[in-house]
Amino acid sequence: MNVRRRTLAVFTAGLVLSLSACGGGGAGSTDGGSSAPADPADITVGVAMPTQTSERWIADGNAVKAGLEKAGYKVDLQYANDDIPTQQQQIDQMITKGDDLLILAAIDGTALAGQLDAAKAAGVKVISYDRLIRDSANVDFYVSFDNYKVGVQQGTSLLTGLGLLNADGSKGTATGPFNVELFAGSLDDNNAGFFWNGAFDTIKPFIDSGQIVVKSGQTKIDEAATLRWQQEVAQKRMEDLLTSAYSDGSKVDGVLSPYDGISRGIITALQNAGYGTGGQKMPIITGQDAEIASVKLINDGVQYATIFKDTRKLAEQAITASEAYLDGKEPEANDTTTYDNGVKVVPSFLLQSDIVYKDNITSLLVDTGYYTQAEVDAGQAS
Ligand code: BGC
């Protein structure tokens, strides 16, 4: 059933039933007359997630599905294996099947304009989930985190680990110079630029003062980017950096990494080159998402920090926005200026994130029920 039919003319229950039975098919349906709220059980929300290779998207998918089902809706949850045509097809099918509302976490934020046109034509509202869909007027709402601030937190955790800053943000006692390499996310993800800008703006004064040296010279986002955020791509680039910029015996002191999977690729490359053994310290390595394997690496002193973005809270916001639309209302935004998708500024609800260090794993992740202590110890979700 289509969103526009959330307030259906109840002229015959039989018509309602027959519409539901044929799976909706929004565009051609008849509105009008006195209205009554549709039964949530007649409403299907299509949820498209990018990949199951990263734990965070599994957690997001599960949390969104569970929350919507708890509210009584049906959920059509699809993962696209990080393959753009697969995701496009999944969304096309959601619209054809008559899903009433879409929650979409894009693989490539610039590749869904066609699907969004079809959604608009079918009267289906679109909530862009965590990754902003670009180049389309038909993105109705955006739920995410303050992504620039996530980048600032990544830069801050790097500086703190190096001792250039104290945890409270004051000037640290270390002076450097430190050799640091920089990694960015996937350029087709709108978030990658926000993370990079936040982090780069934070560490730039230290590059300018000579306390941080990027030995490879690769300080532009397109030189540092990691296609599809892939661990193997990052591992290969770190291996190449070690061979090209560190063959003189100099050591890497820090690596800015925008995502835990990328951090694990970087760690593998460094460990293969002898870091972390025989008195050769691991560099300070940042991350994002508090993936369980990486939380264990932080607990074990291998990775220095990550950024915790509570997927439960993000899912909750997506559900709140969905319910507003399905009730014929507008969701409440807390940011109406930041996220310009190239066509319009998309009203957004942005959440806050936290830096996870070894000493606050318990308070941020265990005490809040995100993981159990046993999971942190094992480095695996049970
Ligand atoms: C998300 C990050 C995630 C990255 C890789 C980004 O869009 O905001 O949380 O680390 O994608 O999956």
Note whether 282 and 319 are same-domain residues.
no
- As a whole number of angstroms, the distance between CA 85 and CA 91 comes to 10
- Look at residue 41 in the predicted model and tell me its pLDDT: 86
Q: Is the pLDDT of residue 252 over 80?
A: yes
**Any domain includes 115:** yes
Residues 156, 158, 161, 164, CA torsion sign: negative
Q: Is the pLDDT of residue 34 over 90?
A: no
Q: Is the pLDDT of residue 341 over 60?
A: yes
Please write down the HEC assignment for all residues of the chain: CCHHHCEEECCCHHHHHHHHHCCCCHHHCCCCCCEEECCHHHCEEEEEECCCCCHHHHHHHHHHHHHHHHCCCEEEEEECCCCHHHHHHHHHHHHHHCCCEEEECCCCCCCCHHHHHHHHHCCCEEEEECCCCCCCCCCCEEEEECHHHHHHHHHHHHHHHHCCECCCCCECCCCCCEEEEECCCCCCCHHHHHHHHHHHHHHHHHHHCCCEECCCCCCCHHHHCCHHHCHHHHHHHHHHHHHHHCCCCCCCCEEECCCHHHHHHHHHHHHHCCCCCCCCCCCEECCCCCCHHHHHHHHCCCCCCEEECCHHHHHHHHHHHHHHHHCCCCCCCCECCCCECCCCECCEEEECCEEECHHHHHHHHHCCCCCCHHHHHHCCCC
Note whether 230 and 199 are same-domain residues.
yes
Note whether 191 and 295 are same-domain residues.
yes
Q: Is 54 in the pocket of ligand 1 (CB under 6 A)?
A: yes
Residue-wise pLDDT for 64-98, tens only, equals 999 999 999 999 999 999 999 999 999 999 999 99
Note whether 151 and 235 are same-domain residues.
yes
- Look at residue 229 in the predicted model and tell me its pLDDT: 97
Are 212 and 176 within 8 A, CB to CB?
A: yes
Note whether 279 and 317 are same-domain residues.
no
- Provide the CATH number for the domain around residue 286: 3.40.50.2300
Q: What residue has token string 């708890």?
A: 70
301: containing domain? 147-308+374-378
Q: How many residues belong to the chain?
A: 382
Q: Is 142 in the pocket of ligand 1 (CB under 6 A)?
A: no
Note whether 265 and 322 are same-domain residues.
no
**Any domain includes 269:** yes
Note whether 184 and 278 are same-domain residues.
yes
- Look at residue 26 in the predicted model and tell me its pLDDT: 35
Nearest to 361 by CA among 346, 377, 345: 377
Q: Is 130 in the pocket of ligand 1 (CB under 6 A)?
A: yes
Q: Is the pLDDT of residue 40 over 50?
A: yes
CA distances from 71 to 41, 66, 68, 74, 95 (A): 9, 9, 5, 9, 21
Q: Is 288 in the pocket of ligand 1 (CB under 6 A)?
A: yes
Are 218 and 182 within 8 A, CB to CB?
A: yes
The Å distance, Cα 251 to ligand 1 centre, comes to 29
**Any domain includes 343:** yes
- Look at residue 30 in the predicted model and tell me its pLDDT: 36
Note whether 241 and 341 are same-domain residues.
no
- Look at residue 37 in the predicted model and tell me its pLDDT: 62
Note whether 292 and 269 are same-domain residues.
yes
User: Residues 183-206: what's their mean pLDDT?
Assistant: 98
- As a whole number of angstroms, the distance between CA 116 and CA 231 comes to 30
- Residue to mutate, 191, 233, 350, ligand 1, most ligand atoms under 8 Å from C-beta: 191
33-39-40 Cα angle (round to 5): 130
**Any domain includes 292:** yes
- Residue to mutate, 51, 53, 56, 309, ligand 1, most ligand atoms under 8 Å from C-beta: 56
The Å distance, Cα 175 to ligand 1 centre, comes to 32
**Any domain includes 358:** no
Note whether 98 and 234 are same-domain residues.
no
Are 235 and 272 within 8 A, CB to CB?
A: no
How sure is the predictor about 2, in pLDDT bands with cuts at 50, 70 and 90? low
- As a whole number of angstroms, the distance between CA 116 and CA 106 comes to 12
Residues 6+ away with beta carbon under 8 Å from 191? 130, 131, 132, 144, 147, 185
* Residue 22 or 132, more confident: 132
Residue nearest (by alpha carbon) to ligand 1 atom 10: 259
Q: Is 160 in the pocket of ligand 1 (CB under 6 A)?
A: no
Instruction: Give the amino acid at 309.
Output: K
The Å distance, Cα 150 to ligand 1 centre, comes to 11
How sure is the predictor about 36, in pLDDT bands with cuts at 50, 70 and 90? low
How sure is the predictor about 18, in pLDDT bands with cuts at 50, 70 and 90? very low
Our count of domains for the chain comes to 2
- Look at residue 10 in the predicted model and tell me its pLDDT: 34
Q: Is the pLDDT of residue 324 over 80?
A: yes
User: Residues 174-202: what's their mean pLDDT?
Assistant: 97
Q: Give percent of the chain with pLDDT exceeding 90.
A: 87
Q: Is 131 in the pocket of ligand 1 (CB under 6 A)?
A: yes
Note whether 288 and 156 are same-domain residues.
yes
Residue nearest (by alpha carbon) to ligand 1 atom 9: 289
User: Residues 42-46: what's their mean pLDDT?
Assistant: 96
- As a whole number of angstroms, the distance between CA 339 and CA 235 comes to 31
- Look at residue 29 in the predicted model and tell me its pLDDT: 36
- Residue to mutate, 79, 150, 289, ligand 1, most ligand atoms under 8 Å from C-beta: 289
User: Residues 297-301: what's their mean pLDDT?
Assistant: 97
Residue nearest (by alpha carbon) to ligand 1 atom 5: 229
- Look at residue 38 in the predicted model and tell me its pLDDT: 74
**Any domain includes 367:** no
- Look at residue 112 in the predicted model and tell me its pLDDT: 98
Q: Among the atoms of ligand 1, which is closest to the Cα of residue 51?
A: 12
Q: Is 191 in the pocket of ligand 1 (CB under 6 A)?
A: yes
Q: Give percent of the chain with pLDDT exceeding 70.
A: 90
Q: Is the pLDDT of residue 19 over 70?
A: no
**Any domain includes 215:** yes
Average pLDDT of the residues of the chain? 91
Note whether 84 and 18 are same-domain residues.
yes
**Any domain includes 363:** no
Q: Is the pLDDT of residue 27 over 80?
A: no
Nearest to 123 by CA among 279, 313, 291, 325: 325
How sure is the predictor about 23, in pLDDT bands with cuts at 50, 70 and 90? very low
Which tokens in the block code for residue 181? 């390499």
